[in-house]
Chains A and B, each alone.
Chain A
Amino acid sequence: MDNVDAMKLDGSLEEPKVNYLTNGWSLKSWLLTKDHKRIAIMYLISVSAFFFIGGIYAATIRLELLTPASDLLESGTYNKVFTQHGIIMVFFFLIPSIPAILGNFLIPLMIGAKDLAFPRINLLSLYIYWIGGALTLFALLQGGVDTGWTFYAPYSTTFSNSYVLLVGIGIFINGFSSILTGLNFIVTTHTMRAPGMTWFRLPLFVWAHYATSLVMILGTPVVAITLLLVAIERFAGVGIFDPAIGGDPILFQHLFWFYSHPAVYIMILPGMGVISELISNFARKRIFGYEFIAFSSLAIAVFGFLVWGHHMFVSGQSVYAGLVFSFLTMVVAVPSAIKVFNWSATLYKGSISYDTPMLYAIGFMGLFLIGGLTGLFLGSIGLTVHLTETYFIVAHFHYVMVGGQVIAYLGGIHYWWPKITGKLYSEFWGKISAMLVFIGFNLTFFPQFILGYQGMPRRYAAYPEEFQVLNIFSTAGASVLAVGMTLPVLYLVHSLIWGEKASANPYMHPGLEWRTDSPPPTLNFDETPVVTWEAYEFGEESGMDLDAARRRDEVSPAA
């Protein structure tokens, strides 16, 4: 403790304090660590690698679609490329991205705990992720899989000659990584909160992760068993899903979407949590309607389990079921809308600063709005018959997944980068890349709404010539997006070596994670904090009043 005070008063450092990064340098100290922060760093590196692979597939798809003919890739290869893009991005990037990296790193810090409740299970989840990922990568190298990321029977049973079995097992294994992470978060939120950290003082990031964890716990096992059934079905040649031998392909779709629709909320809820943090903190204002945002996360988790049938409107499910699913789809839009309204209300009369993370947050609000509203188009039974299996759907879910989750992820990485690494990145390049991502993203995916509305089907390598202009726009946008995504890698890595040293609280934000060193020590806090303030409290009480800080600095001659 004395050391920190000394730093603040005279600005000099005698002996750098040991933090989680400098606490041991051997490979073993990383691979056998129980520290949630080191595990998060290893997740960051692994997930980024998968994001890169998935990105290469995306680039290949956009290059193929530059021209109407199927010239770069033939149809069979194209099937594999978009399938593998989907599998890598969904199961190995989007689902673990924010929870396993930022959630892992921040939840114990935010609630004032020394670690997650089960550090060894946390490490186990990372190893499971590696094993599942390695199996999947091995399958891709062997020749890949061409069923679409949804593994629909009979593509995945009768008509597939690709490595469905191996990829299915890879994803099955990987599912347990997500289950264990969710388990850890739920228990940690229940039992590890610091004294005074009541449920309604929790940052909304933690609430969002709690809701996400519920979905992980209750949804993932179902897809795990479903993929296991597909794998065994292929292995043994007995029909469960394959209609040719007495199976029921609709059953597969029900089981698959029972998880995979809630999985959409696994992907977006943590993003919403990040945005709640960014909006409130960079507006320097207590978030508007804290309880509503907290409970809307839970509402999304609950209602999210009841809408899977809207993926099956044209699959032959009962029209009455379709009606109910359509209605519930409208209902699940309500809590999402509550969040967007509350974020907007938070900005009203806030003292907003447009730092890089805030640019991402504002971008998120616009893009998620478009993504969410077009979801309502697709949830309407009549309209969806026209739009299903077209580029409209592709554009819709990319607006939610990339425009929502990836933008929130980038915003979060930037926001907490000083805490994670103890270094400041270049604000100039950060803003440039945030702009490029926003422009490139819209240029890539907005034309796809029009293409889909005009009837261009998804999952084909060739298309009629009249669609070419918009496809060129889309590919051009993808190039801008690629530059925007590559820049952060460069300047963030640059900041690791040449970056300015970050103070414990470079933004003067009130969250508990800012009340310990950057980077934090291995046990997070020198002593267990006692929380006496509400969440997002920028007043005198939490010590985060900027005016008061300025007055204090003027009095103190050393500053």
Chain B
Amino acid sequence: MAEHKHDDHYHPPGLQHQFEDMGQQMDSVTIGMWVFLAQEIMFFGGLFTAYLVFRSKFPMAFAAGSNELDALWGGINTLVLIVSSLTMALTVYYAQKGKKNMQVALIALTMLFGVAFLGIKAIEYSSKYEHGLIPVDGWNKRIKEGEHKESTAVRLPFETKASAAGTEEAHPNPSGDFQINKEKAQPLIDIAQKENFFTESEKIGYFDGGEFSWEKFTQKVQIFFWIYFVMTGLHALHMIIGLGIMAWLLYKAYRGTFSQDYYSPVEISGLYWHFVDIVWIFLFPLLYLLGRHFLAGGGH
């Protein structure tokens, strides 16, 4: 009788009252995180569905949208996240070994990469603001027509041609509306018209009385940017939550909480971190790369 009474048990640190032992707790939190991630997949899945539907309806508008994004920054961010996954995986390894200093260093490094990712994202977002690509009318930078204005955009040595200085003067945006670079989109439309591969939806969606309508085309590109901002925005929100979790882990690791017997918080936080990375691995090609080949001389 007495040996069953849990009060008499040795109570390991970190064991919650509802569990019998550390093994049960470990199983529970691990399954819990996987179930949560299944939920997350469905959450992003709704957005991917919306992307899929609109992309298959309006491929050229989406290609025009992709061409407005900065694939170099996106590529660098992809690398940043992949490396952060490595440091995260190593954190779990050293938590299992109970090596405190390595844990602290690697968590800090992971956080650094996370912050770098968000910083680059902020640069990209602000460039969209500069170029009138925020898909809400009136939310973009307002530049009066004819008036020369110094750009406040962050200039970087490897900025691509499209987003380089000078475009603002070429595309004044007096009321901060959503607008696209027509010269840049023109070749896309020419290719599609010449080789006749507009989809049925595009034949209705871009044309007004048989004439190509920039207004209607811009509306479709606006949908691309709307999806872009919701998807990358929610992804960034997940990154911010991830950084919060990392900060908590950092504190716990610094206190020397984790050991061979108790490392489940590190492991499941790692699962979450990897998941957020994987979402980006899908976002990057879908948003930045698809459709780019049209302007690089490729066919459809």
- Interface, chain A (partner B; CB < 8 A): 34, 113-119, 179, 182-184, 186-188, 190-192, 217-222, 224-226, 228-229, 232, 236-240, 245-248, 251, 254-255, 258, 523, 527-528
CB under 8 Å from chain A, chain B span 110-147 = 135-137
Cβ–Cβ contact B223 & A237, under 8 A: no
Contact with A along B3-30 (1 / 0, CB 8 A): 0111000000000111110001001100
Cβ–Cβ contact A528 & B223, under 8 A: no
B53 at the interface (CB under 8 A from A): yes
Q: Which stretch of B32-40, B72-80, B168-176, B238-246 is in the interface?
A: B32-40
B26: nearest residue on chain A (CB-CB)?
Answer: A191
- Interface, chain B (partner A; CB < 8 A): 4-6, 16-20, 24, 27-28, 31-32, 35-36, 38-40, 42-47, 49-50, 53-54, 57, 135-137, 205, 216, 219-220, 222-223, 226-227, 230
Cβ–Cβ contact A222 & B18, under 8 A: no
User: Which of A118, A239, A248, A527 sits near B32, CB closer than 8 Å?
Assistant: A118
The interface residues of chain B lying within 8 Å CB-to-CB of A34 are: 17
Complex-state Cα separation, A247 to B230, whole angstroms: 15
| 23 sample A-B contacts, Cβ–Cβ < 8 Å, listed by A number | A179-B39, A187-B31, A187-B32, A191-B31, A192-B28, A218-B38, A220-B39, A220-B42, A221-B46, A224-B43, A225-B46, A229-B47, A229-B230, A232-B230, A236-B135, A237-B136, A247-B223, A248-B54, A251-B53, A255-B46, A255-B50, A528-B4, A528-B6
Tell whether A238 pairs with B38 under 8 Å between CB atoms, given A187-B31, A191-B31, A528-B20: no
Cβ–Cβ contact A236 & B226, under 8 A: yes
CB distance from B11 to the nearest CB of A (A): 14
Which of B27, B35, B57, B227: most chain A Cβ within 10 A? B35
Tell whether A238 pairs with B39 under 8 Å between CB atoms, given A114-B17, A183-B32, A191-B27: no
CB distance from B135 to the nearest CB of A (A): 5
Cβ–Cβ contact B28 & A191, under 8 A: yes
User: Which of A118, A219, A247 sits near B42, CB closer than 8 Å?
Assistant: A219
Complex-state Cα separation, A116 to B16, whole angstroms: 11
CB distance from B62 to the nearest CB of A (A): 13
Known: A117-B28, A240-B226, A246-B222; 10 extra A-B contacts, CB below 8 A, are A115-B18, A117-B19, A119-B16, A182-B35, A217-B42, A225-B46, A229-B50, A239-B219, A251-B49, A527-B5
Cβ–Cβ contact A221 & B205, under 8 A: no
Complex-state Cα separation, A222 to B57, whole angstroms: 21
Cβ–Cβ contact B46 & A192, under 8 A: no
CB distance from A182 to the nearest CB of B (A): 8
Cβ–Cβ contact B223 & A238, under 8 A: yes
Complex-state Cα separation, A114 to B16, whole angstroms: 11
The interface residues of chain B lying within 8 Å CB-to-CB of A523 are: 17
B contact face: mostly helix, strand, loop, or mixed: helix
The interface residues of chain B lying within 8 Å CB-to-CB of A218 are: 38-39, 42
Tell whether A119 pairs with B46 under 8 Å between CB atoms, given A183-B32, A192-B24, A218-B39: no
CB distance from B229 to the nearest CB of A (A): 9
Cβ–Cβ contact B223 & A255, under 8 A: no
Cβ–Cβ contact B46 & A226, under 8 A: yes
User: Which of A115, A221, A225, A255 sits near B17, CB closer than 8 Å?
Assistant: A115
The interface residues of chain B lying within 8 Å CB-to-CB of A220 are: 39, 42
A522: nearest residue on chain B (CB-CB)?
Answer: B17
Complex-state Cα separation, A119 to B29, whole angstroms: 12
Complex-state Cα separation, A236 to B31, whole angstroms: 38
Cβ–Cβ contact A217 & B223, under 8 A: no
Tell whether A221 pairs with B39 under 8 Å between CB atoms, given A190-B31, A229-B230: yes
CB distance from B230 to the nearest CB of A (A): 7
A223: nearest residue on chain B (CB-CB)?
Answer: B46
Cβ–Cβ contact B46 & A245, under 8 A: no
User: Which of B4, B54, B136 sits near A527, CB closer than 8 Å?
Assistant: B4
Tell whether A118 pairs with B28 under 8 Å between CB atoms, given A192-B18, A236-B226: yes
Complex-state Cα separation, A219 to B45, whole angstroms: 11
B219: nearest residue on chain A (CB-CB)?
Answer: A246
A232: nearest residue on chain B (CB-CB)?
Answer: B230
Complex-state Cα separation, A115 to B18, whole angstroms: 6
CB distance from A118 to the nearest CB of B (A): 6
A236: nearest residue on chain B (CB-CB)?
Answer: B136
Cβ–Cβ contact A187 & B35, under 8 A: yes
For the complex of A and B, 9 pairs with smallest distance between CB atoms:
A221-B43, A225-B46, A115-B18, A221-B42, A117-B28, A236-B136, A191-B28, A246-B219, A222-B46
Which of B50, B53, B137: most chain A Cβ within 10 A? B50
Complex-state Cα separation, A60 to B219, whole angstroms: 43
Complex-state Cα separation, A248 to B27, whole angstroms: 43
The interface residues of chain B lying within 8 Å CB-to-CB of A246 are: 205, 216, 219-220, 222-223
B27: nearest residue on chain A (CB-CB)?
Answer: A191
CB distance from B42 to the nearest CB of A (A): 4
The interface residues of chain A lying within 8 Å CB-to-CB of B27 are: 190-191
The interface residues of chain A lying within 8 Å CB-to-CB of B46 are: 221-222, 225-226, 229, 255, 258
Which of B27, B57, B230: most chain A Cβ within 10 A? B230
Cβ–Cβ contact B40 & A221, under 8 A: yes
The interface residues of chain B lying within 8 Å CB-to-CB of A222 are: 42-43, 45-46
Cβ–Cβ contact B47 & A238, under 8 A: no
Complex-state Cα separation, A367 to B47, whole angstroms: 38
